[in-house]
Structure 1
Amino acid sequence: MKPTFLAIIPARGGSKGVPRKNIKELAGKPLIAWTIEEAKKSKFIDRVILSSEDHEIIEIAKQYGCEVPFTRPVDLAQDETPGIAPVLHAMKECPGYDFVVLLQPTSPLRTVEDIDGAIETLFEKEADFCVSVTEPNQSPYWMYSLNVNGTMKPLIKQENFALRRQDLPKAYSLNGAFYMAKTEQLKVTKSFLTDDTVGYVMPRKRSFDIDTEEDFFLCQQVLRDM
């Protein structure tokens, strides 16, 4: 029997870095529209819903064909609200799905090929959790912390310091594009990141995670050049 998938797009009204960023226009349409449209193209996702407490965001999401089965409680839309809380709330409001897919609207360059590719990876590896990752611009093997006296301490200890990037071990960072999990397992772990989580590698050019006005500007340029 084909497993069922619930996609959740979380979009609260408050935003510090870019005010009202979830509905701010990006290359001709609201930021959130980019995620809604790609999610609706998926051959695996059965239902795409929005979780928001903001009525304007809700109305715009509906205009782009996203279902809004509930209004998120305001106490789950605060700056200090853990990211998993709205997901668990949405799963409770919309029960009965085998898997949940969290799609943050701040990753507008993520495509349906990325989403469905990750779901296929879940099946192939018989995994319960999968998250999107990318190779960072700067390797953590070249990163340091500074001691109180200003001296440098490597974040990762190495026997021999590599001067060439190609000599460094491969490293990956979360890019925020999507998080996937079996619903019953997620209820237990309350986290997408476990010892058994599988990483799905996305190219850096589609791994924009908009958090600042500069991010927004750069992403806009990329979309206009596509």
Structure 2
Amino acid sequence: MRTNKNQSKISELLKEKLEERIVTGQYRPGLRLDETELATEFSVSRTPVREALIQLASAGLVDIRPRRGAIVAEASPKRLYEMFEVMAGLEAMSVRLAARRHTETDLRQIQTAQAACEKAYEAGDVDAYYHENERFHMAIYQASHNSFLCEETSAMHRRLGAYRRLQLRSRGRLRSSRDEHRGIIEAIAAGDSDLAAQRVHAHVIIQGEIFSDLIASLSRLEVPKYKD
């Protein structure tokens, strides 16, 4: 059991490293990601590499093709912004229901996740904040008490995970995100579904705008070129 847990942790860490290289343009669309080469580079077996690539494929970051393996997928800034628009709509629907339907337990879970975000913010730990931020949003989805909506919103949240992580590195974004969370919780606690939806929509849509700006700036930088 311990071995399986360790392997899952290795796969997750490897996925995070690879997804950052993809979203920052270090790995260009069309690049073939060779399992053996990656296993050698990261000093791991091919099994966690394969698992990481499968997770990246489920997030739409790579395509797994017969006889070619994993290929970095094409994702234009316009396409990504469209995905953030859909994400903002799903989140707004979730928080609107959460404001109306949440229980005291639901609210405590949201507040507990926010407290962890606050702690990560004070420590200046972007990666910890990203993971606690995920807990915060998942707690809101659960508080909607609509299982289908929760499943769909969670899936989209995971698909955009790499991009949400990257935009948190923008100057001042961690503080803004924390402050936006506070406003969202305030609206949920007050049962103001319209205000909660408005605030969470703005919270998510700005992530797409920040990410588009990041990609535009990264595209002007010289990045290492990899051969297929």
* TM-score w.r.t. length of structure 2: 0.24
Name the structure where strand makes up a greater proportion of residues: 1
Name the structure where helix makes up a greater proportion of residues: 2
* TM-score w.r.t. length of structure 1: 0.24
